[in-house]
């Protein structure tokens, strides 16, 4: 395979090699496989070689290949954002102000606001409008280094509307230069017209799941197991029937209360259990002992956005042997950021992850959380060439510095798609 892109002169190339098989757990969670003074050779959309910059240059340089000078920066795998709600209409800045004034997230939802206020606006929006706005947020994410993203439906709730959202997500996969993984989240909250008919809504979710599956519109099925959303038993029923339809499973688990959803995820063989702010010690230990432990997808930007001081125990999860991933949870209500670098910076502070653990969580382990663990997430020959160049002198700056975008070049599938935070027009 001919080399068509060379990245040279990196102070550090974070290869994240040899972390498998499967998600990185325990001490492997913090292993970056650093090559100092490194370079990367790319061809045909794949990583071809990684090693000392001089050698990579000598062996692969030819007149037709594009060269990126990393200028003493850090090169690493592209970020995988394994939990977002990127397709929605409107914003919730008014509610955010109320929240900062002390009103709780669940109280706003109870009063018919929160997720339900986004549902009202999203139902009224056309697929074109939703596509346009999601594309703008996705462009910001890509400029910040996201090269694969999971996107959930969940802001229409009625059958037709949820399928409309899944179709928008499929179109995003066609128009964006990065990989998009779709999740059906009809079980986000009860649709308002079903307030008095929970059984009717559960059946609607099951019927819509079947259609989504038949049309190949979603790989994952997710449920929000929480007060004001779905009970543990309802979640079990929906997840079990979704599994029967061939979906892989995800849960919004233990976000505002200890609901038992994390254990349910373990029992049902879920791919990931997400949030975990209220995870109890016993379940944490049980997860750590399990051979088939789901990925713990932590969403540290949520507590930051909502101004809460309850955090998922990132350090204790890693110590117990639970594989940890990080995601933005980008959505208009609980986490209005598409930035994985910002998410890493917060995780180091509030989830108590080391910066190396956070980087593995945002790349290699995040890839496993969306079924891409064999294809992306590390810089080993043969992997898809999703690669970032960051304008920082060493990897610690990815946690140390925050609030600006450290990513200067984004390579997705072997092509440069963003520079200086901006998606290139051709991308
Ligand atoms: O992951 N918890 C439920 N769902 C989202 C919030 C969605 C919203 O508030 O619009 C979450 O935090
Ligand atoms: Fe979420």
Residue that is written with structure tokens 């998922």 in the block: 312
Between the CA of 311 and the centroid of ligand 1 the distance, in Å, is 16
336: exposed, middle or buried (Cβ count in 10 Å: 0-12, 13-18, 19+) = middle
Of the candidates 349, 344, 354, which has an alpha carbon nearest to the alpha carbon of residue 30? 354
To which CATH superfamily is domain 5-78+377-423 assigned? Urease, subunit C, domain 1 (2.30.40.10)
Residue extents of the structural domains in the chain: 5-78+377-423, 80-369
Between the CA of 202 and the centroid of ligand 2 the distance, in Å, is 19
User: Cβ(222) to ligand 1 under 6 A?
Assistant: no
For residue 333, give the ligand 1 atom closest to its CA. 9
CA distance 402 to 164: 36
3-state SS of 273-341 is EEECCCCCHHHHHHHHHCCCCCEEEECHHHHHHHCCCCCCCHHHHHHHCCCEEECCCCECCCECCCCHH
User: Cβ(252) to ligand 1 under 6 A?
Assistant: yes
Q: Which of the ligands is closest to the CA of residue 183?
A: 2
Of the candidates 331, 179, 186, 158, which has an alpha carbon nearest to the alpha carbon of residue 250? 186
Q: What is the mean pLDDT of residues 56-67?
A: 96
User: Cβ(265) to ligand 1 under 6 A?
Assistant: no
User: Cβ(114) to ligand 1 under 6 A?
Assistant: yes
81, 83, 85: residue to mutate for ligand 1 pocket, most atoms within 8 A of CB: 85
φ and ψ of 410, to 5 deg = -120, 120
Q: What is the mean pLDDT of residues 231-245?
A: 98
Q: What is the mean pLDDT of residues 102-119?
A: 92
If you average pLDDT over every residue of the chain, what do you get? 97
For residue 255, give the ligand 1 atom closest to its CA. 2
Q: Which helix (H) or strand (E) holds 50?
A: strand 46-52
* Whole-number Cα distances in Å, 155 to 91, 302, 424: 12, 18, 30
- 307-342 pLDDT, tens digit each: 999 999 999 999 999 999 999 999 999 999 999 999
- Say yes or no to pLDDT of 368 above 80: yes
Query: 29-43, 97-111, 244-258: which range is least confident on average?
Result: 97-111
Between the CA of 331 and the centroid of ligand 1 the distance, in Å, is 7
User: Cβ(118) to ligand 1 under 6 A?
Assistant: yes
Between the CA of 331 and the centroid of ligand 2 the distance, in Å, is 7
- 374-393 pLDDT, tens digit each: 999 999 999 999 999 999 99
Query: Cα 261 to the chain's mean position, in Å?
Result: 19
- 249-289 pLDDT, tens digit each: 999 999 999 999 999 999 999 999 999 999 999 999 999 99
Between the CA of 262 and the centroid of ligand 2 the distance, in Å, is 15
User: Cβ(333) to ligand 1 under 6 A?
Assistant: yes
The CATH code for residues 80-369 is: 3.20.20.140
- Say yes or no to pLDDT of 427 above 80: no
Q: What is the mean pLDDT of residues 185-197?
A: 97
Please answer whether residues 76 and 363 qualify as being in contact, where contact means their C-beta atoms are separated by less than 8 angstroms. Answer: yes
pLDDT for the residue 425: 87
Q: What is the mean pLDDT of residues 101-108?
A: 92
Q: Which of the ligands is closest to the CA of residue 259?
A: 1
CA distance 330 to 50: 33
Between the CA of 83 and the centroid of ligand 2 the distance, in Å, is 6
């Amino acid at each position: 395979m001919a080399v068509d892109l060379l990245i040279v002169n990196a102070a550090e190339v974070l290869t994240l090699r040899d972390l498998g098989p499967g998600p990185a757990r325990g001490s492997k969670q913090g292993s970056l496989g650093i090559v100092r003074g490194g370079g990367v050779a790319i061809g045909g959309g794949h990583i071809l070689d990684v090693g000392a910059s001089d050698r990579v240059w000598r062996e692969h340089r030819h007149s037709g290949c594009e060269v990126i000078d990393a200028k003493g920066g850090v090169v690493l795998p592209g970020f995988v954002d394994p939990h977002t709600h990127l397709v929605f209409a409107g914003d919730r800045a008014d509610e955010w102000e109320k929240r900062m004034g002390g009103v709780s997230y669940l109280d706003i939802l109870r009063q018919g606001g929160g997720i339900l206020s986004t549902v009202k606006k999203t139902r009224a929006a056309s697929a074109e409008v939703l596509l346009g706005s999601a594309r703008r947020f996705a462009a910001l994410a890509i400029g910040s280094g996201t090269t694969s993203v999971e996107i959930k439906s969940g802001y229409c709730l009625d059958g037709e509307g949820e399928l409309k959202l899944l179709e928008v997500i499929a179109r995003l996969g066609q128009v964006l230069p990065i990989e998009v993984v779709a999740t059906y989240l009809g079980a986000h909250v009860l649709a308002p017209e079903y307030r008095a008919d929970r059984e009717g809504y559960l059946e609607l979710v099951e019927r819509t799941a079947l259609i989504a599956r038949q049309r190949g519109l979603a790989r994952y099925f997710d449920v929000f197991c929480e007060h004001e959303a779905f009970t543990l038993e309802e979640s079990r029923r929906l997840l079990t029937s979704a599994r029967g339809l061939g979906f892989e499973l995800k849960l919004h688990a233990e976000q505002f209360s200890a609901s038992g959803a994390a254990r349910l995820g373990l029992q049902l063989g879920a791919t990931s259990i997400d949030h975990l702010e209220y995870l109890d010690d016993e379940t944490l230990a049980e997860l750590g002992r399990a051979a088939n432990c789901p990925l713990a997808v932590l969403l540290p930007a949520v507590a930051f956005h909502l101004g809460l001081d309850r955090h998922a125990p990132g350090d204790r999860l890693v110590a117990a042997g639970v594989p940890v991933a990080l995601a933005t949870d980008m959505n208009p209500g609980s986490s209005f950021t598409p930035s994985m670098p910002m998410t890493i910076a917060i995780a180091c502070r509030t989830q108590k992850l080391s910066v190396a653990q956070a980087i593995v969580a945002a790349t290699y382990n995040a890839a496993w959380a969306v079924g891409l663990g064999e294809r992306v997430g590390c810089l080993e020959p043969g992997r898809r060439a999703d690669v970032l160049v960051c304008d920082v002198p060493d990897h610690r700056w990815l946690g140390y510095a925050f609030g600006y975008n450290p990513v200067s070049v984004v390579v997705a599938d072997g092509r440069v798609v963003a520079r200086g935070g901006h998606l290139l027009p051709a991308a």
